[in-house]
Amino acid sequence: MHVNTGSFMTLYAWYSWPNVVLCFFGGFLLDRVFGIRLGTIIFSLFVLAGQCVFAVGAQLNLFWLMEAGRFVFGIGGESLAVAQNTYAVTWFRGKELNMVFGLQLSFSRVGSTVNMNVMSPVYQWISGYVGEGYLTLGYALWVGAGTCVLSLLCGLLLGYYDKRAARILKRDAGKTGEVIRITDVKDFPATFWLITVICVAYYVAVFPFIGLGLVFFEEKFDLDPTSANAVNSLVYIISAGASPVLGFLVDRTGKNVFWVILAILVTLACHMMLAFTFWNPYIAMSIMGVSYSLLACALWPIVAFIIPENQLGTAYGFMQSIQNLGLAVISIVAGSIVDQKGYLLLEVFFLAWLCLALIAGVVLYLVDAVRGGALNMSTWERDAQEEAEEKAKTEQDERVRFKPRSAFALRNRFYSRIGAKLPDHFDIHTSSFFRRGVTQ
């Protein structure tokens, strides 16, 4: 289609642009307008429609129509992820929820890996019948539309089972808790903003790199397209298997901030290997897959430690919005850097973002240490703290429950038990103020 790298990366940007805003309002629509079941189906339809428009644009050799398809796809994509998370919380609350989120990440990475390794052979197979060109690309993209149909069918089936469970268990599963209140943002502590900086600075050095990685591995390491695809997909392949294991590790050990800093350092080292050495790229990409999974498992739960439960939806929505804004802008900038300066400068660009993430991680550690180290507690320390807080609350409730009665109340209770006749206007539970008011 004669598309340069910068134009190609706009396809990633057009997915991210709508989610700069929709992450704020997707949860609100699920809560107040559609409900979780209908909302899941509607956003699945947006994803399917966007992929169909994308495929038609390729078949007609209309790049602007392909961009429009990616925009429609993005409208449904991230909001569908909010619905997915809501279903997970509804069904698995208090039952190793972090492990469930790890499994969600694993399956999403499996899908990404299959896409990266299957679509090229599918294109080559179709080209054997149709010939190479934009028409063949369009036919190949219709295969992706078929997987979107499968996603829609899963949404319909999940809605049926969730409605059935709600009827049997008599629960309301239609609330996401992701109601957006813009005014809550101004009250978020500094640690939240540091986490947001880490989130944006880290992910812009991973996702755009993978988007541009295929040609990078072909040019620098002289790999054929199939091998380059295999290397480029290693991050997703490794994370698919590592995410549940690392989620379990973080669950059992705690120390979230430590794991975040370690993941950033390891990813920084991987990018330095790819930029300044000619070592086998399988090594760096495999290690990066582990560090990417570790950061995802350790970073996102920290927000729940610092933001009240009723504001978590706003917090996560804001983080996702800023992340999508960063990905949209950096994807375009990264494509321009490749076109004008080459891949070495691109790697330096990504290293700068990872250094920013590292600085934010260290500052987060220091700020947390000054405030008592709550975010970097071990699991045992956190459990002990929660037990102490629960015990203190129980003792407080007991003190209120068994608060000594006044002499007036004790005397009236005694009269009541022995059957003494009290005046008609009198109540043994009435305070002494009422008694004095009557006598006056």
Query: Which letter does DSSP use for residue 32 in this model?
Result: I
**What's residue 81's pLDDT?**
77
Biggest CA pair distance of the chain: 104
Q: Please give the single-letter amino acid code of residue 245.
A: V
More confident residue, 33 or 328: 328
Query: Which letter does DSSP use for residue 79 in this model?
Result: H
**What's residue 257's pLDDT?**
94
- Provide DSSP, 48-106: HHHHHHHHHHHHTT-HHHHHHHHHHHHHHHHHHHHHHHHHHHHHHTTS-HHHHHHHHHH
pLDDT bracket for residue 434 (50, 70, 90)? very low
Over residues 163-174, the mean pLDDT reads 72
Mean pLDDT, rounded, of the chain: 81
Is pLDDT above 50 for 89?
Answer: yes
Residues 298-338 pLDDT 10s: 888 788 788 776 676 667 777 878 888 888 889 889 988 99
Q: Chain centroid to CA 280: how far?
A: 32
pLDDT bracket for residue 432 (50, 70, 90)? very low
Is pLDDT above 60 for 174?
Answer: no
Residues 37-80 pLDDT 10s: 888 899 899 999 999 999 999 888 888 899 999 999 988 887 78
pLDDT bracket for residue 126 (50, 70, 90)? confident
**What's residue 440's pLDDT?**
43
Residues 382/254, Cβ–Cβ less than 8 Å: yes
- 27, containing H or E segment: helix 5-28
More confident residue, 428 or 240: 240
Is pLDDT above 50 for 436?
Answer: no
**What's residue 420's pLDDT?**
65
CA dihedral 291, 292, 296, 299 (to 10 degrees): 60
Is pLDDT above 90 for 201?
Answer: yes
pLDDT bracket for residue 433 (50, 70, 90)? very low
**What's residue 233's pLDDT?**
84
CA distances from 355 to 18, 160, 198, 288, 361 (A): 28, 47, 10, 16, 10
pTM of structure = 0.71
pLDDT bracket for residue 264 (50, 70, 90)? very high
Count of beta carbons in the 10 Å neighbourhood of residue 51: 25
Residues 341-391 pLDDT 10s: 889 999 999 999 999 999 999 999 999 999 888 888 887 887 787 778 777
